[in-house]
Amino acid sequence: MNFREIVIRTFQRKSIDRIVWQPRLCYWYNGNQVSKLPGELRQKDQKGLVGNSTIYRGVISTRPYPRVPDEYRGKSVIGVHDLLNASVRYAGEGAGVNVFGTRIDPDAGISSETFEQDGSSITITKTPVGNLQTVGRLGYPAEFPVKNPKDCKIMKYIMDNTDFYFDEDAFKYADEVFGDRGTVQSFFSRAPFQRMIVELMGAKNFFMQLHRHREEIESFMDDIAVWEDRIYDVLVKCPLEVLNFGENIDANLASPRFFEKYMVEYYNKRVRQLHRAGKFCHIHIDGAIRPLLPLLHLVEFDGIEAATPKPQGDVEIDELKEGLGDKILLDGIPAVLFIPVYTRDQLREFTLQVLDTFSPNLILGVSDELPPTADIRMMELVSEIVEKFEP
């Protein structure tokens, strides 16, 4: 069986002849400028950095990273996966294209301008019903666009005039690039609760506004849910067989109380839509997960992506298995184990424990992404272990 077949058979709960090894490598790849050959790497004087320096999201890291072996230099992301005998998951990471997108009605009177000021990137979005301001600093949000219920009305106007679409040409390209390496997957807009935290308001202000203006904020989350009907109208018709709810859930924010109140019913509604269309889906939970383990049986996802055990996460492997039940685990090896402070023996023992515990309901990967400080030779070790393992 090839990787594409095994991924689908894993979700179908059919017999497989090997476990898929599917690490997400782009963070490591971009951070180490792997696309460049040794002679092309940026050289700095003594005031800067020399050789294998890393620039990520505007920050230059002075930490000495493990040297990228010559055989990886100049390779594409797909080429690195091939060297590791690994599968690839997402269109954006494996083929550099987005298969989903949004577009604003050109007649809606919505425009935006972005400018730099004091090291920050400021975007002003203008609409007939008011303006919103977003500020980014070093690649991260410093000011979110929605601050209060008044801004919710402006954002609703923007949503009402925004369509979600599937890019068939991008999909065909990604599908060709992937070949037998895996089935093309993608994530899309977050559910209302998570979207408020991660994209629109930020956690602190969201919880303050929810406490002070509960009716208005809950009404706006309902508006988001109505807009997302457009998303699922597209998703059920698109050719992707596996879809990811890229939620980035952390139980410190999406506590059990909030998870039950705002998320379980919504997720199950959407999962059922996708299941009726013959699709599989998994959800990205990359933060604290232990408080949510007793609730995971309530949501009908086929799998959980990026759940991270100790020493990086907050759960033991056996605890995670009990919480997931027969759900598929995507990933499972904490990213920190690939940093040279851990030994090859520690990584080998942990990998075998994950394989023994979750196989065959497992698509093995790095929880959540391979960091630039990782030693790619440790990834080769996992490739060797998976090659010999019988599910």
The pTM (predicted TM-score) of the whole model is 0.93
Q: Is pLDDT at 193 greater than 90 in this prediction?
A: yes
pLDDT category, 64, cuts 50, 70, 90?
Answer: low
Task: Tell me which residue has tokens 């954002």.
Answer: 155
Q: Is pLDDT at 58 greater than 90 in this prediction?
A: no
Task: Encode 335-362: b = buried (16+ Cβ within 10 Å), e = exposed.
Answer: bbbbbeebeeeebbebbebbbebbbbbb
Q: Is pLDDT at 48 greater than 60 in this prediction?
A: no
Q: Is pLDDT at 52 greater than 50 in this prediction?
A: no
What is the pLDDT, as a whole number, of residue 65?
Answer: 75
Q: Which amino acid is at 81?
A: H
Please state, in angstroms and rounded to a whole number, the distance separating the CA atoms of residues 317 and 322: 9
What is the pLDDT, as a whole number, of residue 273?
Answer: 98
Which residues, at least 6 apart from 211, have a Cβ–Cβ distance to it below 8 Å? none
C-beta atoms surrounding 331 within 10 Å: 28
**DSSP designation for 315:** B
pLDDT digits (tens, 9 = 90+) for 327-361: 999 999 999 999 999 999 999 999 999 999 999 99
- Would you list the domain boundaries of the chain? 3-103+161-388, 106-145
Length of the chain: 391
pLDDT category, 39, cuts 50, 70, 90?
Answer: confident
Q: Is pLDDT at 274 greater than 90 in this prediction?
A: yes
What is the pLDDT, as a whole number, of residue 42?
Answer: 56
Tokens of 127: 């609409």
DSSP labels for 61-125?
E-SPPPPPPGGGTT--HHHHHHHTT----BHHHHTS--SEEEEE-TTS--EEEEEEETTEEEEEE
What is the pLDDT, as a whole number, of residue 47?
Answer: 34
What is the pLDDT, as a whole number, of residue 333?
Answer: 98
Residue range 3-103+161-388 forms a domain whose CATH class is alpha beta
What is the pLDDT, as a whole number, of residue 350?
Answer: 98
Please state, in angstroms and rounded to a whole number, the distance separating the CA atoms of residues 75 and 281: 31
